[in-house]
Structure 1
Amino acid sequence: MSRHTAASNRPALTVHPIGIPHLEHDANSPAGGKPGRASPPNSRIGAWFRLLKSTAANNNLLPEFEVTLEATHHGPWTEVPAMFVEIGSTEDYWRREDAAATVASVFMKGLGLDGDQAVGCWSEEIHAGEKVLLGIGGGHYAPRHTDIAQKDGVWVGHLLSGYSLLMSDPGANVKDYDKIEGTWKEAILEAVSATKRAFPGGEVVAHLDGKSFKAWQRNAITWFLGKKNIKVGKPGDFAP
């Protein structure tokens, strides 16, 4: 659990995976983490996001508070599956007891501390073969990926914002995708690898927010995913 900040100062409750896979390995990381690496995303991200939204509604925090996913960002680095659940976006909202009580309730129910079964736990024996969302593109709050994650049963892995996929403009060589410089390919592969570690036996499927990319970017990413045998799914493909 952590405090969320945003330039908008809008009250928000957020959930997100952690990592900075878009940075070069020798880059500075002022917000922690290992440059070029993404920690395994906790399998609870999707289920707890839905639980957070329903609990906020029951506690009359909606629509004052926005409940949303965030794209993968900041540290720390951990080799065990992790996620952040945050209250934002200013000190006034950090101090809100009803917001804190909502998050506490999510932890109690999500971890099974209320006597019921824990929420969002992945079991390879039970869930092998199920699809796991890898979000690619969109803004920091990943609205199109968030729309998918609102459906019951959707598993959520890493979410790479469009601005985190650093791609040099190829100019006249627009179809020579392999020569497009930047850390975009490394970021995608790291996010895929980390998500696979978090969901053993699952099928990691990419979902592209195509409208957030220029045509050459979208085509290059689609080409690269195909080259690496990573399927691209439509919104309806992720719900069980």
Structure 2
Amino acid sequence: MNQKIAIITTSTDVASENIENELKSKLNLEEKTYNGLNNPYYLNDNFLLYESNKKQLNLNNIDRVISKIFDVDLIVFPSRHSSEKRNQKTFSVHTPGNPGEEALYGGNKFSLSMSAPFAMKKALKSLERYSKELAPEFEVTLECTHHGPSEINIPCFFIEIGSSKKEWKNKDAGKVVAESIIDLKDLEREDSAAISLGGGHYSPRQTRLLFETETYLGHIIPDYQLENLDIIKKALEKTLNSKFIHLCREKTKKEEFREKINKIDYPSYREKHIRALDPIPFSLWKKIHEIEKDCTPFYFGKKQQEFSHEVIDKKFMDYVEKIDRKKLIESIKEHELVHYRYQNGEISNNLLFPVEGLQKNKISFINSCIDIIKQKRNAYVSKGEKVFLIEIEEKRFNPGKAKKLGLTEKQFGELTSGQEIEIAGNTITPAMVHNIIKKKFEVNYLPINKKEVIRI
């Protein structure tokens, strides 16, 4: 999607001016004037660049002014990041706003600007890519929501160079940020994003989650600002396409907090649950969870838009898992199935198969399960019109037979390990002390009806 982006810099910030100079050298911009702005602005088809004489933190109404001269989709504030405690070269990204009762650095208390989760993720990835070549010593990170302006109603975010004057003036750092902003011109918005609750000022866990999954995060509210339920609701309202809440770190695990968050009619997930279903679109998550409410779903395949709910014979699945659980999970991964695990780790017989190539994939999975059985048991398979007929021969040691043949309990182990034993000139083979137990399974290999298809 071709975006219209307003870039708001400031003459009060050397990092902002550094980035502005790089942008002007890369964009073919035409100088314009407008009575509502103190300074000229610069324009092309996709970008408006304006340098304010005020600190960006105090530009609460800048979106209203810009909207009168530019059909803006996104506002970006190139800025400096300052930290006396954390002497780390950084590129950081965050949404502006004041989740708490203090507004020491612009904006209003308990007030949040509209977050831009899709643009922030793309900016992070661009920062990472360009910094590898131009500024490899810089760390790329998300930060929690903080400082003004807090009343911007167009999706917006700060993109910053930190953390000292030396870095703010670094030309290569300015180039990295400028290129990352230009990349935002071609931005796709997905159907769902989340807010994140928990953690500190810096957000390393949320940063990793964005880099490693298909998740998009808007407002990030840290541990020390989670007391106000209304601000959490506002964070959801002020995050573009917010559909769920990401819960991070220990504070969000406390019973008191869980009772509070349950009052909000929004699904919430911890990182492990998000990673378990990634990259399946969020719009399918609720349906997936409803199939086995007492289980945790897992998925290891590529992005899919629709799945068919297939129920495999439970006794057959349990038997395969008992034979070799590790290989069963490997087969589930190979066939890109959603599977469910009970709290004790047992795998459910409810499986979700990608609709594309369903019957071929289902037959292949069942055959792989039969192969797992054949590694340890004799198995005979015939294929009917709808089902595989599977007959398994299982040898079981019979201690009563062994004793009748004159064996002591100490010798049982030799026979069960496959060895023969000589007693009074007679050879006792393992087959002589085993019973043959037969098990039969009928496993449906045809897809079930279309009513069981889960799709977006």
How has the CA–CA distance of structure 1 residues 238 and 31 changed in structure 2, closer, same or farther, with 3 Å as cutoff? Answer: farther
- Corresponding position: 1:20 with 2:98: yes
Inter-partner Cα distance in structure 1 for 2:278 and 2:126: 18
Counterpart selection for 1:47 from 116, 122, 141: 122
Inter-partner Cα distance in structure 2 for 1:214 and 1:190: 18
**Partner secondary structure for residue 220 of structure 1:** helix
How has the CA–CA distance of structure 1 residues 144 and 106 changed in structure 2, closer, same or farther, with 3 Å as cutoff? Answer: same
2:106 partner letter? G
- Corresponding position: 1:191 with 2:235: yes
Counterpart selection for 1:4 from 64, 81, 84: 81
**Unpaired runs of at least 5, structure 2:** 1-77, 281-456
Which of structures 1 and 2 has the larger relative contact order (alpha carbons within 8 angstroms, sep 6+)?
1
Note if contact 2:213-2:278 (Cα within 8 Å) is conserved in structure 1: no
Note if contact 1:133-1:157 (Cα within 8 Å) is conserved in structure 2: yes
Note if contact 1:47-1:154 (Cα within 8 Å) is conserved in structure 2: no
Query: Which residue in 1 is equivalent to 2:268?
Result: 232
Q: Within 5 A, what are the aligned runs for 1:135-174?
A: 135-151=196-212, 153-166=214-227
CA offsets per residue over residues 160-209 of structure 1, 9 Å max, x none?
A: 1112224xxxxxxxxxxxxxxxxx212211111111xx22xx52x21222
**Partner secondary structure for residue 214 of structure 2:** coil
1:31 partner letter? Y
Deviation at 1:103, TM superposition (A): 0.5
Counterpart selection for 2:169 from 95, 110, 133: 95
Query: Which residue in 1 is equivalent to 2:346?
Result: none
Note if contact 1:47-1:153 (Cα within 8 Å) is conserved in structure 2: no
Q: Is the strand fraction higher in 1 or 2? A: 2
**Partner secondary structure for residue 40 of structure 1:** coil
Deviation at 1:91, TM superposition (A): 0.3
Note if contact 1:134-1:157 (Cα within 8 Å) is conserved in structure 2: yes
1:223 partner letter? E
Rg comparison, structure with higher value: 2
**Unpaired runs of at least 5, structure 1:** 112-117, 167-183
Counterpart selection for 2:246 from 207, 220, 224: 207
Q: Within 5 A, what are the aligned runs for 1:212-223?
A: 213=251, 218-223=254-259
CA offsets per residue over residues 134-184 of structure 1, 9 Å max, x none?
A: 111111111221111113532221101112224xxxxxxxxxxxxxxxxx2
**Partner secondary structure for residue 123 of structure 2:** helix
Query: Which residue in 2 is equivalent to 1:171?
Result: none
Deviation at 1:38, TM superposition (A): 0.8
Inter-partner Cα distance in structure 2 for 1:108 and 1:48: 9
Q: Within 5 A, what are the aligned runs for 1:11-90?
A: 11-23=89-101, 27=102, 29-42=103-116, 43-59=118-134, 61-62=135-136, 64-77=137-150, 78-90=152-164
Inter-partner Cα distance in structure 2 for 1:82 and 1:239: 26
TM-score under structure 1 length normalisation? 0.75
Note if contact 2:96-2:145 (Cα within 8 Å) is conserved in structure 1: yes
Percent identity, please.
Answer: 27
**Partner secondary structure for residue 150 of structure 1:** helix
TM-score under structure 2 length normalisation? 0.41
